[in-house]
Amino acid sequence: MQIELKSPFDAHLHLRDGAMLETTVPASAEQFAGAIVMPNLQPPLTDRHTIDSYRARIEAIGGESFAPAMTLFLTPSHTPADIEALKGVISAVKLSPAGSTTHSEKGLHDLVNNHSFMAVLEAMEAMDLPLCVHGETGDFVLDREAAFAPTYRALARRFPKLRIVMEHLGSRALLPLLDEQPNLYATVTLHHLLLDLDALLGGMLRPECFCKPVIKTPADREALQKVVLDAHPKIFFGSDSAPHPQADKARGAAGIFSAPVVLPALAGFFEQHDALDRMQPFLSDRARDFYRLDLPDRTVRLKKDPWRVPVSYGGVTPLFSGERLIWRVVDGA
Ligand SMILES: [Zn+2]
């Protein structure tokens, strides 16, 4: 039994930089024809020069069969003219409200009352440039996504033509927004789809399952599984794969390195639910249409051939480290 996927696409990926690119780029390029590459480096990608040179570093490793689609890290000092100057350079703008995630200290405070932010969104709406949002507040950790719902709603209503992606959606409380607001979309990760807090805290603490937004309750996981299996037209895959060196993980850094196991684990999930035909639209078609991408033409094949996930990739512990997966990527040409 084999699965064939046409040009799989990861709509939310952290590749990091420097020596780590030697691990992260091949891990994704083996399975994906491209990715929306997130800009929260240290320092973040806030201008054309840093974006172009980062793209070149990724392409030098990934080659022609992996297309990185770049993003801008939005800061309070950006103007509409800055965004307009990036037409054709970036595929989206990433908003990480201050304090929400790794390296988001430079993000925006008090969004809806921020006039320069509103002017930037107006320019993006006119350019039809999507906004990708890490939607969490400073509330209790399990409530942070749900508490961001009014901000999503306010932004969607104020800019009805701006396409907004609720990134790495993990709370079922946000799902009704997809049907309520025509211009709200969502990415779903592997870990929010398959895991709940038991995986992180139910036995020994497993730092490789810790991320922001944190994986949540069984009810949240089941609600996400339902909308993905029902092929909701506004949901597509984004891994949010976000590696940290083991030393940082030991200090509690948030981020899950899922890239090496994405397609095998998702194949197991869709097969278990007798829904292998839903993989292609979730893993490529919908994101490709949303971002209007011209991806490298690739066919990635998987077959049933059990393997054990390595405990480390270049000093980073992957999701499902040491566990056995049934499906294996056999050909990504
Ligand atoms: Zn992310």
CATH number of the domain to which 190 belongs: 3.20.20.140
If DSSP codes are grouped into helix, strand and coil, which group holds residue 185? strand
- Distance (Å) from CA 2 to ligand 1 centroid: 31
Which pLDDT value is given to residue 115?
87
The number of distinct structural domains making up the chain is 1
* C-alpha closest to that of 130 among 153, 156, 150: 156
Catalytic (active-site) positions? 240
Helices vs strands, H then E, count in the chain:
14, 11
- Distance (Å) from CA 167 to ligand 1 centroid: 7
Which pLDDT value is given to residue 112?
75
Distance separating alpha carbons of residues 36 and 68, to the nearest angstrom: 6
- Distance (Å) from CA 173 to ligand 1 centroid: 20
Which pLDDT value is given to residue 1?
85
- Distance (Å) from CA 34 to ligand 1 centroid: 16
Q: What residues of the chain score a pLDDT lower than 50? A: none
- The alpha helices in the chain, defined as continuous H runs, are 21-29, 48-62, 80-84, 115-127, 144-147, 149-158, 175-180, 190-194, 197-201, 218-229, 246-250, 262-272, 279-280, 286-291
CB 173 within 8 A of CB 283: no
Instruction: Estimate the crossing angle of helix 48-62 against helix 21-29, to 10 degrees.
Output: 70
N-terminal to C-terminal alpha carbon distance within the chain: 19
pLDDT tens, position by position, 48-63? 999 999 999 999 999 9
- Distance (Å) from CA 251 to ligand 1 centroid: 19
Residue 156: give the domain boundaries: 2-331
Strand partners, 70: 37
CB 214 within 8 A of CB 200: yes
Which pLDDT value is given to residue 331?
79
Which pLDDT value is given to residue 106?
59
- Distance (Å) from CA 217 to ligand 1 centroid: 20
- Distance (Å) from CA 212 to ligand 1 centroid: 8
